[in-house]
Structure 1
Amino acid sequence: MTEISLGREATPEDVADVVSWFVSPHAKYITGQSVQVDGGMRYQ
């Protein structure tokens, strides 16, 4: 897992947390964004 800065693969909960935030009132002013949920993975 040296390619991932956080040292582990993502879980379904990691992705669900981001999705939950995007559909919450906290993100009401966010439009047209793309967010990588990759733990800081570096492509080589």
Structure 2
Amino acid sequence: MFTLTKFNFRHREQNSCANLLAKNAIICNKQWFMYHTCPNFLIL
């Protein structure tokens, strides 16, 4: 139902949340992971 969507590429080093999610994914060593709420490690 979005009338407009825009995506901008950012390296994960320029996006602290994405960087933390990527680092956590490496530590967890799972094929995929889905969050339904904001993970505690992202809450500053």
Q: TM-score under structure 2 normalisation?
A: 0.36
> Relative contact order (alpha carbons < 8 A, sep ≥ 6): 1 or 2 greater?
1
Q: TM-score under structure 1 normalisation?
A: 0.36
Specify which structure has the higher proportion of helix.
2
